[in-house]
Structure 1
Amino acid sequence: MSQLFTPINIGPLKLQNRIVIPPMCQYSAIDGKTTDWHTIHMGQMAISGAGLFIIEATAVEAIGRITHGCVGLYSDETEAALKKTLDAVRQFSNIPFMIQLAHAGRKASSHRPWEGGQLIAQQDGDWETIAPSALPQLPGETPPRAMTQADFIRVREAFVQAAKRAIRIGFDGIELHGAHGYLLHQFLSPIANQRKDEYGGSLENRMRFPLEVFKAVRAVTPENITLGIRVSATDWVDGGLTVEEVSEFGKRLKALGCDFIDVSSGGVSPAQKIQLGPKYQVALATKIKQECGMPTMAVGLITTAEQAEGIIVNHEADIVEVGRMMMYDPRWAWHAAAQLGAQVNGPKQYWRSQPRELKDLFFDAKIGSR
């Protein structure tokens, strides 16, 4: 029996299988509001047969967006748009949906990737960015403004209010974005955080604000809603954040009621030296899984059914995330189930598509959606 297609609980949420679609920015929102593109994109992902779909990084305040095209959840208008999109997709899919709440910090106010991705110039409609320290992401960029106590209070409350909106909309879970060089990761990393107060210096101090945010969100998240976090397990830079430090951070999160940890890496410095290859981040997930004892998601160039199955069989992680391959092949989970001799949840409208020799490929069942 395929282990990839066995159920698992993450907090109160039961997944039908161990395949998760991670957040993938689409840069197609208008003033933070989802559009018809998101209905198309989310609709494809929702009928993929995966066990869980985490929607793209969603900014908790307008200045926390990476680009002008990023989704937000910081107003009645952005909440209404996202609810409309989710409700439309849920008419035809019962996959559990999770939202990733994020703040880009010093990496905000940037062009879309296909427009170059660099920081927007002031004359072209930029906005002021904030960060732990007044250090730019790239040499020559306008430095962010170092956060004040007023910023700490506002941003923390923005995460809380966005979480409340996500719960009202009907998401099954929330993931806080503490990875890829965005604001919470910026606090954790000694590369981006060079503060001299109680929020900088030692690991204990660098963890302080991310833990405050998590604790505040946990306090407003009901017990029937899963809450976890994505982390960058290493900066891939000498003198940067290490997997040992992130493991300690994970232990503190678990004590606060964290339901899972989603392990990625990098993103805080252009000096990073990453040796890309199949499963290149999985060993980081394995170490954090062993150290923290939380359900752990692994991501990073996992492209084949055999790789994904092996990660579960060998206890390298509890859950496998398939992102870019799922965009390239939205039926990746169907094909993996066929290859591994498993079944996958599929829409009745497509049941006739299965090859004759795979007549038992599909089933139809509720899979944990509220």
Structure 2
Amino acid sequence: MTLDSTGTLALAAAILLAGRFLNAGIAPLARYNIPQPISGGLAFALLAAAAHAWSGLVVETSATLRPPLLLAFFATVGLSADLGRLRKGGPKLALFLGCVVPFLMLQNAVGTGLAILLDQHPLIGLIGGSVTLVGGHGTGAAYARIFEDTHSLAGVMGLAMASATIGLVLGGVVGGPVAQYLLRGQMPLVERASGTTEVKSDAATTEGVIVTTCLVLFCLLLGGRLATLTQGLPVALPDFLWCLFVGVVVRNLVAPALRLPMSDVSIDLVGSTALALFLALTMATIRLWELAALAGPLMAIVAAQAAFAVLFATLVVYRVMGRDYEAAVATAGFVGFSMGATATAIANMQAVANRYGPAPVAFLVVPLTGAFFIDLANALVLTGAITLPVFGE
């Protein structure tokens, strides 16, 4: 069954509603801050797998809506970045980046070691490492082609897609519980701060949503154009990062000059909606029967990587970032993009922030790291790793 754009959007809405009902009816899902698109998406994946086993039915969704929804979300990240309030986030960004590079090296060491123990080619360890878990589907596909050509590894493309998909799901499932565990001793303080924030926050209005939507569309158009114009440069930024940067410029220069009303609540509403729909559409593409057929030893590697990411996040990232509420939210984000994608990281953080209150520094540091710096660091780490003798023919 093939769905057009309208049908695909309706399916995403159904997944979000299912996630809402599941989180409301199953207490642990809400208690441990599981994002609604993840819980609803897993429920749909199970139903789709059952339908496929029973009748061979496969639901094909349209991929048209996912890119603009993700770009819209990153535009709202930029629009919410009031540099006057967030200037103090600079040192935190440096600290966060200081955690990322050693983690990438250790993640690949863990994957390679497990691959050797499981009698797999060491490169499978990189596939079950930062190639797909930090790099996602795009980086996984790129390196899979390289490994197929240079090492004649059959089926590595399927393994890469399976690893990226499993990692995305695990990153969304474990990030919330990690934050909840870290906040267990801070609950009275966090809840008081949350209550104070709610009293001071403004309400979303039709005008605020319309203005925000217009600005988001402007960021998408200009960001996409800048990405196209800079494609030939030695360092080409991805389109979503251009949209984020345009949003920062609009918020801090254009909007004050034109006296445009900027509502943080409206920006959060538009951004949260775009992200939720993007994640729901992504979860709608998961085919559990294909993952089960492809995973094999890779499942054990990725599961071990999830455990390692949780340990590193709680023992290193949380402490380096200050051991406070902002640090707990940033740690949930770290788990998200260390296993899945920046979108998963933000969903983890939003699930915590929606319950306990905003974390502006974390919401600046994590997207910037996950959107740009992590990819650059990952490319450098992988370039060096592949030259090691253990990965030879």
TM-score exceeds 0.5: no
Structure showing the higher helix proportion among its residues: 2
Q: TM-score, normalised by structure 2?
A: 0.25
Structure showing the higher strand proportion among its residues: 1
